[in-house]
């Protein structure tokens, strides 16, 4: 299904010179070099539901064929600057992930928090499910088999690695930089985006989200892993079992493999995993679409609610 987007490659206008067409085709192939992200799957039902402007943005953002100052310079020979910081012939990447003025105004943080809320919804859903499973205790559970499955399939299904039933997990999310790291674990000034902890088992999970440019997913992962390495060590020194999940969702809506790994480790499977991944991807892409629409606005409020 990942080939759906490949069918929708925008063809440059016939009026473009052969040189311009060559440059655009080179841009369109850059997505093949992305590492650490999963393919974006869009079924036909979702395809027809997308507003035309969003669909155009999704495709053209993927292949970098939007009229950024750099593209316009390459296509038409014009000299244009970023409306926020004045960078000459700024790239599409600059607009969505590199402009220092946009960073200072909180535009990228706003997008990060939009994605974080959606990720937190999926994590919270699993936390509540684990609590419900715990409440069921040793009650007999009914398992429904799919067509063709044998009765012993249930025992072969992988169990969730995290949030095991019978343990009271608490959760805090750093939306708007309001999280205070649980003092019962350790004292730190660092603020991971999501903290899940179980005092009974002295177990803590740290989740740190980044919304980077797709080409920078792996670098962002290693950077965040290094940033929180000391905090993980400090938690362990205090007798806690600590686990860090640096996760990434690309600015154009391509979910990092690390994010999928977290969701799987939490116990999401099948349709639940697909739904969570799709909603997280859409949140990032839609937020970036809004940033693109507001790229010429020199002031920035709370953004799109």
The DSSP code for 32 is G
Distance (Å, whole) CA 22 – CA 194: 44
Would you tell me the crossing angle of helices 257-266 and 107-136 to the nearest 10 degrees? 20
Question: Which regions of the chain are under pLDDT 50?
Answer: 1-20, 22-24, 138-141, 153-157, 159-160, 305
pTM: 0.82
Task: Give the pLDDT confidence score for residue 12 in this predicted structure.
Answer: 36
Specify which residues 206 forms β-bridges with: 195, 244
Q: Domain spans of the chain?
A: 13-28+41-105, 107-140+156-293
User: Strand, coil or helix: what is 120?
Assistant: helix
User: Strand, coil or helix: what is 198?
Assistant: strand
DSSP characters for 216-256?
Answer: GHHHHHHHHHHHTHHHHHHHHHTT-EEEEEEEEB-TTSPBB
Q: CA triplet 263, 265, 266: central angle to 5 degrees?
A: 65
Task: Give the pLDDT confidence score for residue 305 in this predicted structure.
Answer: 47
Task: Give the pLDDT confidence score for residue 278 in this predicted structure.
Answer: 93
Task: Give the pLDDT confidence score for residue 162 in this predicted structure.
Answer: 80
The DSSP code for 49 is H
The Cβ-side half-sphere exposure at 95, using a 13 Å CA radius, reads: 30
For 173-215, how does the pLDDT look when each residue is reduced to its tens digit (9 = 90+)? 998 767 889 999 999 999 999 999 999 899 999 999 999 999 9
Nearest to 283 by CA among 64, 110, 111: 111
Q: Where are the beta strands (DSSP E) in 73-185?
A: 170-173
Nearest to 248 by CA among 282, 208, 195: 208
């Amino acid at each position: 299904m990942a080939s759906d987007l490949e069918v929708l490659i925008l063809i440059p206008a016939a009026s473009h010179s052969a040189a311009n067409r060559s440059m655009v085709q080179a841009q369109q192939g850059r997505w093949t070099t992305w590492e650490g992200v999963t393919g974006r799957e869009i079924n036909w039902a979702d395809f027809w539901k997308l507003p035309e402007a969003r669909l155009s943005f999704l495709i053209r953002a993927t292949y970098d064929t939007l009229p950024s100052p750099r593209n316009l310079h390459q296509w038409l020979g014009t000299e244009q600057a970023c409306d926020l910081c004045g960078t000459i012939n700024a790239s599409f990447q600059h607009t969505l992930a590199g402009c220092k003025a946009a960073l200072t105004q909180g535009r990228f943080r706003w997008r990060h928090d939009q994605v974080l809320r959606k990720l937190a919804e999926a994590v919270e859903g699993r936390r509540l499910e684990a609590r419900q499973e715990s409440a069921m205790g040793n009650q007999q559970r009914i398992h429904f088999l799919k067509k063709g499955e044998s009765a012993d399939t249930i025992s072969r299904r992988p169990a969730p690695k995290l949030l095991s039933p019978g343990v009271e997990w608490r959760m805090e999310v750093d939306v708007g930089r309001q999280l205070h790291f649980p003092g019962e674990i350790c004292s730190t000034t660092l603020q991971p985006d999501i903290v899940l902890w179980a005092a009974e088992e002295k177990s803590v999970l740290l989740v740190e989200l980044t919304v980077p440019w797709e080409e920078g997913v792996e670098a962002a992962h290693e950077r965040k892993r290094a940033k929180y390495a000391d905090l993980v060590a400090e938690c362990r020194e205090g007798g806690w079992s600590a686990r860090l999940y640096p996760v990434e969702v690309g600015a154009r809506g391509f979910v990092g493999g690390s994010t999928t790994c977290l969701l799987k480790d939490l116990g999401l499977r099948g349709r639940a995993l697909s739904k969570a991944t799709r909603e997280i991807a859409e949140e990032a892409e839609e937020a970036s679409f809004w940033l693109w629409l507001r790229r010429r606005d020199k002031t920035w409020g709370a953004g799109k609610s």
